[in-house]
Amino acid sequence: MSTVELTKENFDEIVSGNDFVLIDFWAEWCGPCKQFGPVFERSSDKHDDLVFAKVDTEAQPELAQAFQIQSIPTLMIVRDNIAVFAQPGALPEAALEDVIGQARGLDMDEVRTSVAEAQQAEQAQEK
């Protein structure tokens, strides 16, 4: 499956409309991004049940800022509208496959519970 270009216009539709989205934040001038690009593409061919998307941080600075992207490439995995993984750096193919496997194996009920508990704790601290 080919990758989808994410923009501020289609971001919510694509991420909210899919259960499992891998997002590559990149830029044309970035050497490590160019190294990671083919790895990301090959992985998208292996996992046609997942959505692979790219955000050009130069063309979409609002998205990069919204996700506090400080270095590129950064890989983010969103499952059920929850970011379950975010890491800067160009991953080798084996590491990317491992991360995908770990993200597939997550118990999303447990993740949602953890997120809710963290939000409650944060709200309690604010009071």
Looking at the annotation, which residues are catalytic?
30, 33
Tokens matching residue 63: 């998205």
DSSP 77: E
Residue among 45, 41, 49, 32 nearest 87 (CA)? 32
- Does an H or E element contain 24, and which? strand 20-26
The amino acid at residue 122 is E
- The Cα–Cα gap between 62 and 18 comes to 21
